[in-house]
Structure 1
Amino acid sequence: MKVIKTLISLSLCVIVFGGIEAQEKRLARADETFAKYAFVDARKIYLDVAEKGYTSSDLYKKIGDSYYFNGELEKSIDWYEKLMNEYSDDMDVEYLFRYSQSLKSIKRYDDADAIMEIFYKKTNTDKRAVYFVSTRDYLRFIEMQSGKFTLKKIDINSSASDYAPSFDNRGNLVFASSRSPYSSMSRIIHEWNEMPFLDLFISEVVEPDNELTQPKKIKGKINTKFHESSTSFSPDGQTVYFTRNNYTKRKIGSDTTGTVLLKLYRATLEGDKWKNIEELPFNGEEYSVAHPALTKDGKQLYFASDMPGAKGMSDLYKVDVLLDGTFGTPINLGDKINTEGRETFPYISDTGRLYFASDGHVGLGGLDIFVTVPEEEGFSIPYNIGRPVNSPDDDFSFVLNEMTKIGFFASNREGGKGNDDIYSFKQIEELITSCRQYVSGVVTDAESGVILSEADVLLLDEDGNEISRVASDAKGIYNFELECEKSYIIRALKNSYNPSEKLLVTNTALEYTHDVPLQLSKGGLQEQEVKPGDDLAKILDLQIIYFDLDKSFIRPDAEIELQKIIATMKQYPEIKIDVRSHTDSRAPDSYNMALSDRRAKSTIKYIVEKGGIDKSRLTGRGYGESALVNRCDNNAQCSEAEHQKNRRSEFILQK
């Protein structure tokens, strides 16, 4: 039941087509229906037109979307594929994302990733693209996270749509269903997906096996002839927040296009019936608000909305519930949580963890469920909770009793009774909710490509201090576990080979393995004929240690090269080096001599302080512009790149 699941609005219009022969008129009428989200009605016309040989990018988009937004992602693939193959120049980047998501629904992950690569190149600032490129090995992380829940099918599901489970204050299960046997109104068919409208039902949870009793409609005035879904109950059980179509005081409301949107309402319990229904004040007539989730103390309400300021198709928000029953100002949960895609169905556990469904964060396909833990300010980055809860289909509306470890969620995966089914689960292992990243690679000979085993591979912090050390295995492989948002240096050492290093900067999107193959250049110092006066930078094939114009500080790109000098001096403790620094020809000669001397001292200071090298092994001074490497003297007109070559340091062997 994609209607309320995706937060896209619900159209309550009924449009009858007949007697229109011209394809253009039929398409215009179908477009009108489609704009109000009556996808099934519109689809019949689009498919008929397509079967008669009419093609256009808009037609392919509409047919693909009619399946995509009804959760039938596998059926959208052919149409998005046609769109990409025939109208790639007229293809909005959003359809690349939808195409990729649809491919995941049939587990074509390599193809889906290839489409996301294109998506990233076209819109590299989109959060969904950023998460993808920083989470390329997402399947491996999801596999690590998987197996922490056991699933159980439950008997209360119907052949219609059942989802949005929640607990009332007594632990009973309340959920939304479009099942028909329970309501005279249920024969009204919603044109979005030809399913009856949703009502709210309750099943008692019977101990000790957590069996569910036969569902009954909740009592009172909450259920109407329109949609009701997704509930959240106050700690005392006397107040319920719920989602409904824009239907207040027996009047249906719509936006300027005639589409009926979603709103949040609350009701209070009188006896055993829900009454006193009121609309929440931050609803709007031109946007939807849905899927309430109260904190344990009832002081904050989380929800999903596409209100002005939302970053994507739906964002997550929170609002304070004040003591007098009024509300504060809704606050967007921000970039860590919300993307340009869909974030929806929030749930706040008793320990403050936020679970939600998203297709913007990297997952297995469709909507996946993610968890994020409270931090000093806001929440951590979200973590995919893995299989078997998540699947290539839509998985959403997750709730968990943290005491019993029993919970429920909904999915439209294969094998269910209806359009959406509710599944029970038991958590058997803790989720990974700390920042983890892994670096691995293969050590090889740079010239022959031969795998090198038993090479020492060191993990260093950004100051060159050793954190960990491993030996490459028989396949030349090494690996380390890293922390978030830190800089590291990976150094490989082996007899008869020069040291080799790579700078690695981790980020916050950590669900991937960062592969760093290290290649060692054959021919170490012991096998080369070296003598005093040789430049160690040339022997080690270092990048030139450049300086910025009129500056003497060590640039980040120079640090990695200086770390190689440090590694060599540690490996060969008899080496002594003379550091010679130079400038370009601009500025007076005397000024350049002083500047180059500061650069030499800065370089020596770095090697001593960052590398722990004894200062007695280093000498150095500045040479100003007296040893230019090109024609760029005081009389020459040179480019910045040509001048840059003269701003350098050399490392001359003294012993």
Structure 2
Amino acid sequence: QLAVAYLKVSETVKSENTFASVAMDHLSNDQLFMYAQSLKYNGKYAEADRVIAMYKERNPEDGRATELLNSLPKIEKILAEERYLIDEVDFNSEQSDFGPVAYNGDIYFVSARDLDYIIKREYAWKEAPYLNVLKTSEKEGLFSNPKLFSTEMRSMFHDGPVCFSKDGNELYITRNINNDFIDANFKKKKGYNNLIILKSEKQADGSWSKPEELPFNSNAYSCGHACLSSDGNRLYFTSNMPGSIGGTDIYYVDKEGDSWSTPVNLGKDINTEGDEMFPFIHQSGRLYFASNGHVGVGGLDIF
């Protein structure tokens, strides 16, 4: 369990070493697969192939193993292709910062940094602040000190990421909902803990309306990471709703008047038995997304 915990918080070297200290025939199927993931994350692709081969012997019907087995030639081809120089922006913090959206000269992103509020909001799993949507502006290559985007976009739990309509009058935000409760014996009980998508509209004074839930949300599963097409008529998002191919899949809904159609799964060309998330639809119609199910160099890669 310690190796799994390390993997969940991206301590991949510690995860690999902990898995390696246990005989592989003592690892469960899930643990064996996660051991292979740890090896891939650490660039040990040949060793990862060896572990995946053992996993496939136990689970011959698992499409993930078939996809990932003998992936080293594909990975070498990816690594041999044109490289890009990546510069770190100066508004990052020591906590998690992700999901940037550039709109109208500003950048909106999700952060777990401490905002110095009198009442601290922390969640027990990582003992870190809950996520908020922050905003920064760029001028001549320099970024302003990030500030909370809007009090309407801040709840008691995780908030973000966001996406905007092309005209900037609508936004869609992912929000965490949690209904843990106290029973008759005053003991805390676990309820549901999911993601939902909400919509907010810009008001005449420039403020934002109270976000309202979209109709396809459910207490039984998560919907999040919304991305709107340039014409505003199709919304792509991530969900683990029933019928998903893997852990999380990418779906879309079409606008129907003031509501939305039934969610449509993008199918097996996009979704795998792993996780697909964070869709981004370019105005050209090209879809970009993150996946740990397609062959990549390790972890979530962009496809």
TM-score (normalizing by structure 1): 0.43
Q: CA deviation at 1:331?
A: 0.8
Which residue, out of 200, 205, 215, partners 1:267? 200
SS in 2 for 1:184: coil
Q: CA deviation at 1:237?
A: 0.5
Residues 49 and 69, structure 2, Cα contact 8 Å, conserved in 1: no
Counterpart Cα distance in 2 of 1:311 and 1:258: 25
- Structure 1 residues 342 and 254, CA, compared in 2 at 3 Å: closer, same or farther? farther
1:583-609 superposed Cα distances (whole Å, 9 cap, x missing partner): xxxxxxxxxxxxxxxxxxxxxxxxxxx
SS in 2 for 1:274: coil
Q: Which residue of 2 aligns with 1:642?
A: none
Q: CA deviation at 1:175?
A: 0.4
Q: Which residue of 2 aligns with 1:283?
A: 217
- Structure 1 residues 198 and 231, CA, compared in 2 at 3 Å: closer, same or farther? same
SS in 2 for 1:284: coil
Q: Which residue of 2 aligns with 1:193?
A: 126
SS in 1 for 2:216: coil
Residues 127 and 360, structure 1, Cα contact 8 Å, conserved in 2: no
Q: Which residue of 1 aligns with 2:137?
A: 204
Aligned AA (1:197): Y
SS in 1 for 2:36: helix
Unaligned runs of 5+ in 2: 182-188
Q: Which residue of 1 aligns with 2:231?
A: 297
Q: How many residues align?
A: 295
Q: CA deviation at 1:159?
A: 1.7
Q: In the alignment, does 2:16 pair up with 1:80?
A: no
Q: Which residue of 1 aligns with 2:268?
A: 335
- Structure 1 residues 219 and 156, CA, compared in 2 at 3 Å: closer, same or farther? same
Aligned AA (2:179): G
1:176-228 superposed Cα distances (whole Å, 9 cap, x missing partner): 1111135334x322112111111111112335x4x422211112411122110
Which residue, out of 168, 171, 188, partners 1:240? 171
Q: In the alignment, does 2:278 pair up with 1:345?
A: yes
Q: CA deviation at 1:163?
A: 0.8
1:306-338 superposed Cα distances (whole Å, 9 cap, x missing partner): 11111211111111123x231001111111111
Mapping for residues 147-186 of structure 1, pairs under 5 Å: 147=83, 149-168=84-103, 170-185=104-119
Residues 182 and 217, structure 1, Cα contact 8 Å, conserved in 2: no
Unaligned runs of 5+ in 1: 1-61, 247-251, 371-655
Q: In the alignment, does 2:50 pair up with 1:101?
A: no
Counterpart Cα distance in 2 of 1:119 and 1:146: 33
Q: CA deviation at 1:257?
A: 4.3
SS in 1 for 2:163: strand
Counterpart Cα distance in 1 of 2:155 and 2:235: 24
Mapping for residues 28-39 of structure 1, pairs under 5 Å: none
Aligned AA (2:230): K
Residues 219 and 272, structure 1, Cα contact 8 Å, conserved in 2: no
- Structure 1 residues 146 and 129, CA, compared in 2 at 3 Å: closer, same or farther? farther
SS in 1 for 2:260: coil
Counterpart Cα distance in 2 of 1:317 and 1:163: 21
Q: CA deviation at 1:82?
A: 4.1
Counterpart Cα distance in 2 of 1:99 and 1:273: 48
Aligned AA (2:37): Q
SS in 1 for 2:202: strand
Q: CA deviation at 1:145?
A: 3.0
Residues 222 and 275, structure 1, Cα contact 8 Å, conserved in 2: no
Which residue, out of 103, 110, 113, partners 2:46? 110
Counterpart Cα distance in 2 of 1:206 and 1:315: 37
Q: Which residue of 1 aligns with 2:184?
A: none
Q: In the alignment, does 2:302 pair up with 1:362?
A: no
Residues 235 and 253, structure 2, Cα contact 8 Å, conserved in 1: yes
SS in 2 for 1:110: helix
Counterpart Cα distance in 1 of 2:48 and 2:6: 18
Q: In the alignment, does 2:277 pair up with 1:318?
A: no
TM-score (normalizing by structure 2): 0.90
Which residue, out of 179, 183, 195, partners 1:253? 179
Higher mean alpha-carbon deviation, 264-273 vs 126-135, is at 126-135
Aligned residues with identical type, % of pairs: 35
Q: Which residue of 1 aligns with 2:80?
A: 144
Q: Which ranges of 4 or more aligned residues in structure 1 deviate by more than 4 Å? A: 254-257
SS in 2 for 1:293: strand
Aligned AA (1:129): A
Residues 105 and 365, structure 1, Cα contact 8 Å, conserved in 2: yes
1:558-617 superposed Cα distances (whole Å, 9 cap, x missing partner): xxxxxxxxxxxxxxxxxxxxxxxxxxxxxxxxxxxxxxxxxxxxxxxxxxxxxxxxxxxx
Residues 220 and 275, structure 1, Cα contact 8 Å, conserved in 2: no
SS in 1 for 2:78: helix
- Structure 1 residues 293 and 74, CA, compared in 2 at 3 Å: closer, same or farther? same
- Structure 1 residues 83 and 286, CA, compared in 2 at 3 Å: closer, same or farther? farther
Q: CA deviation at 1:84?
A: 4.2
Residues 232 and 294, structure 1, Cα contact 8 Å, conserved in 2: yes
Mapping for residues 316-465 of structure 1, pairs under 5 Å: 316-322=250-256, 324-370=257-303
- Structure 1 residues 307 and 63, CA, compared in 2 at 3 Å: closer, same or farther? same
